[in-house]
Structure formats: structure tokens, C-alpha cells
Amino acid sequence: MSYTPRQIYALLSELRQHAPLVHCLTNQVASNFTANVLLALGAVPAMVIDQSEVCAFTAHSDALSVNIGTLTSTQKDAITAAVQSAVEADIPWVLDPVAVGQALTFRSQFAVELINQWHPTVIRANGSEVMALATMLKQHSGGKIGTNICGKGPDSNVESAAAIGHAKDLALCSGSVVAMTGKTDFLIDPSCPSLMTQLDNGHPLMTKVTGIGCALSASVAAFLALAKSDEHKRRIACLTALAVSSVAGELAAAESRGPGTFAVAYLDKLASISEEDLEKRLKNFELRLSIFN
């Protein structure tokens, strides 16, 4: 099975036409940038955070994005309620397990609880987070939460390519599609865990703007809203979010002087990216499915 830039652009066009409503329970640092990224893509963001409102709002949304970057006890309760509402309404939801596995037991335990009880549609994480989650889920059956795998705050100390085996384990343990991002992005589907899709686009300036990764998780949710319960379309929805973000990053970097101008240019490119841009930039895109051990 393979995908083409034309298919990716078709899904982007569909998103721009339908403007899905994405409920974001995200961290304080990335909230504004996440909303702007969704708007630039053509989606509609909402950041309803009070527990008294999240259930009803999630039930009327098209997708839910959960980010635990600045997790608090109050937010934990609201997230749990929102996720339950999403699952009961068959609304796709994305988990961004920011900084799990860094001796941060509160968030690590919560991430494991969310995965085991509510099974995210997609887990979007960096290499360190993927390794930590896979390890924790394996240990969870014995009642232990391992936090010995460390990133550096929200950043990864592990190249994504070095965590492929853990990503496969995470997909199998969670039943979720795993979108592992880094210098190279990998997409692993639990329905065919011996296969992966690889993407080598993007630019280093994307790591210099706070919130790009968090916003990417919300973008994944936006595209998932178009897939409904179609598992095949969910795979290409995840791939489209990764591809559009990385190509927009390359295009923005080409006309930026540094992180400040890049952040603005990135939003502009998300809003204006064309099929021609994707065709040119994704010519070396490994859209094929690759077998790994």
C-alpha cells in the first residue's frame, strides 16, 4: 500500500472545506500557537477547559486533542471527563504525553491510565516519550511505573529512528496508531505493526519555536475528524498532518532569518501550502510501507 502527495493534498482540501471543530485540552505554553496553527490549516480550535463544560463540549466537537505538558490535578479531572465523553461519542482523540518518563510520576501514571482505560486513537510523541511509554505499559501489569528513560523537558534525547522497536511495542500495547516525530517521523499502525511509514521532511528551525510539536498533535486530531471510523483513512489522516507540517516548515525556513520570523512564516505556509508544494517537497517522501524487525 502506498500514498501520494495528491492524496495528501486532497485530504488537506477536505479539511479546508469542512473546517472541523477541534477541542484542545493543551498546555498553557502552547495554547495560543496551537489555536493559530489550526486556524491556518482551516480547522476551528476551541480551548474549553473547565470540568463542568468539557463533557458537553467534547460531545459536540469533531475531534479531541489532549496535551499534558502543564498538567495539574484540576486539569487531570477535566481531561478524564473529556476523554470519556469523546470515547462514548466515538470521537477520535489524540494523546500528546509531554515529558513522560522523567521521574514525573504524576503525569506518567496519568498517561498510562488514559492509554489503558480510554485507548487514544493516536499517540503523538517524540522518541524519548515513546520509549518511556512503551516501558511503562510493560511494567504496569506488575504495578510499577518506570521513569528511568529521560528526555530533556518536552524535548527528546533519543532520535526517533532509535526508538522504532519501542514504537511498535507501544502500538501493540495501546492499540493506538503511534506517530513518532523527530528528525525522521514514523507512523506505526497496530493493525499492521510489522510495517511503518517514514517521513524525512522538516527543518531544524521547527525545534526552536515553542509549541510546534504540541500544535502538530492538534493538527493530527483535525485530520482525524475527517476519517470518522475508517481505519484506512485514519492512517492517511495522520500522515497528512505530519507531511503538511514538515513541508510547511521547510517552506517557512527558506524565507526566515531565525525562529521569530520562522514562526510567522510557518503559519503563513500552513495557510497557503499547495499541491505543487507537496509534489516538489515530497519527491523523496517514503510513502511506501517499510518492513522492520
The domain of 19 spans 5-291
Number of H helices, E strands in the chain: 11, 9
Helix or strand holding residue 55 (H, E): helix 51-59
pLDDT at 155 over 60: no
* Number of structural domains the chain divides into: 1
pLDDT at 141 over 60: no
Q: What is the DSSP letter of 134?
A: H
Q: Average per-residue pLDDT in the chain? A: 91
Residue 64 belongs to a domain with what CATH number?
A: 3.40.1190.20
| Nearest-angstrom CA–CA distance, 201 and 283 | 10
The pLDDT value recorded for residue 193 is 78
Residue (of 198, 155, 156, 192) closest to 177 by Cα position: 192
Helix or strand holding residue 67 (H, E): strand 63-67
Cβ distance 154 to 107 under 8 Å? no
Under the banding of pLDDT at 50, 70 and 90, the label for residue 283 is low
Strand, coil or helix: 284 = coil
The pLDDT value recorded for residue 145 is 41
Residue (of 131, 212, 116) closest to 173 by Cα position: 116
pLDDT at 183 over 70: yes
Q: What is the pTM of this model?
A: 0.92
Cβ distance 221 to 34 under 8 Å? no
pLDDT at 62 over 60: yes
The pLDDT value recorded for residue 229 is 78
Residue (of 31, 15, 61) closest to 245 by Cα position: 15
The pLDDT value recorded for residue 103 is 84
Cβ distance 64 to 92 under 8 Å? yes
- In the chain, what is the straight-line distance between the N-terminal and C-terminal CA atoms, in Å? 19
Residue that wins the pLDDT comparison between 228 and 170: 170
Q: Could you tell me what percent of the chain has a pLDDT over 90? A: 80
Q: What would the pLDDT profile of 42-54 be if each residue is shown by its tens digit?
A: 999 999 999 999 9
Give the chain's largest Cα–Cα span: 52
